[in-house]
Structures are given as C-alpha cells and as structure tokens.
C-alpha cells in the first residue's frame, strides 16, 4: 500500500490510500483524509526496455480521481507524471 496526496487542488488537499494490483501495473484506492469521499485509480507506463529491463522499468504514471466534500463541492481530475530527467 501507498498514499497519494493531492494538494492545492481548488484549495483542497486530500489523501488516498492505494493498493497495487497483482500481475498488473495498476493501483486504486479511496480517500482517507481531507474530504468526505473520493477515489483514485491509475497505471504505470513502461519504458522502452519493458518491465524487466533497467534502466527504465517505469517511465511514467497516469490516472484519475473523484472528490466530494458533501457540502456542495465535488470534482474529478486527471494526473500524469514522468521519470524523464530523474536519476535512477
């Protein structure tokens, strides 16, 4: 398990605890702190060498989330990131 923190999103900050799928490069979870409810899901993208070939087994991450504070505010969003330029 791991935590994903979404911060400075429309003035909100919330944390989701995610679990990783077995035999798949995906993850998902539900909001644990910061707002009333929400969820997140995503996947990792492989580098040109594939999952078993260093130096780039993971080249990026992408996913989506939903959030609701039960006081009239709700939203959906997407996220993406890359390991380009990160020393591995």
- For residue 9, the model assigns a pLDDT of 86
In 3-state terms, what secondary structure has residue 27? strand
Specify the pLDDT at position 87.
Answer: 58
**Model pLDDT, residue 23:** 85
Half-sphere exposure of 84 (CA within 13 A, CB side): 5
Give me the phi and psi of 37, to 5 degrees please.
-155, 165
Query: Could you say which DSSP state residue 83 is in?
Result: -
Helix (H, G, I), strand (E, B) or coil at 51: coil
Looking at residue 6, what is its pLDDT? 84
d(CA 88, CA 86): 6
Tens digit of pLDDT for each residue in 21-32? 998 889 999 999
Q: Is the pLDDT of residue 63 over 90?
A: yes
What pLDDT does residue 47 have? 67
CA atoms of 70 and 86, how far apart (whole Å): 39
Is the predicted pLDDT of residue 51 greater than 60, yes or no? no
Between CA 30 and CA 16 the distance in angstroms is 5
Query: Which pTM does this prediction carry?
Result: 0.75
């Amino acid at each position: 398990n791991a935590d994903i923190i979404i911060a400075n999103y429309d003035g909100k900050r919330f944390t989701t605890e995610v679990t990783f799928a077995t035999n798949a490069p995906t993850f998902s979870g539900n909001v644990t702190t910061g707002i009333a409810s929400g969820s997140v899901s995503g996947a990792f993208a492989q580098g040109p060498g594939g999952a078993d070939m260093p130096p780039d087994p993971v080249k990026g991450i992408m996913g989506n989330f939903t959030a609701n504070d039960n006081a009239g505010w709700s939203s959906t969003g997407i996220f993406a990131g890359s390991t380009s330029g990160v020393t591995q």
